[in-house]
Structure 1
């Protein structure tokens, strides 16, 4: 599931023209490398942050899963 969410975050983020640095800061990550690892599926994604990511990206939560 984490790989799917990571890929969807990356796809939507790029469609919105948002950088990893910008999204990482909005999510409170200390480094964009954390987001890079999430997007590549190397690191799990905290399910509690799903609504926040959706809000920042301007999409419905289900857009991160499908």
Structure 2
């Protein structure tokens, strides 16, 4: 990503909302890079918890 938490991140979470993976392989979201980007807490689900992370970090930068 670009290191900033903004509408682009919220859009990724929205597009992947409700998706899950079984995390049985070496890479949980294998074949779905956007799912991996949206699953911010790495619980193999894209849900409200990921949305809360976006909201609580809104406007922050990673650098």
Q: Return the index of the structure with the highest Cα Rg.
A: 2
Higher helix content, 1 or 2: 1
Q: TM-score, normalised by structure 2?
A: 0.29
Q: TM-score, normalised by structure 1?
A: 0.29
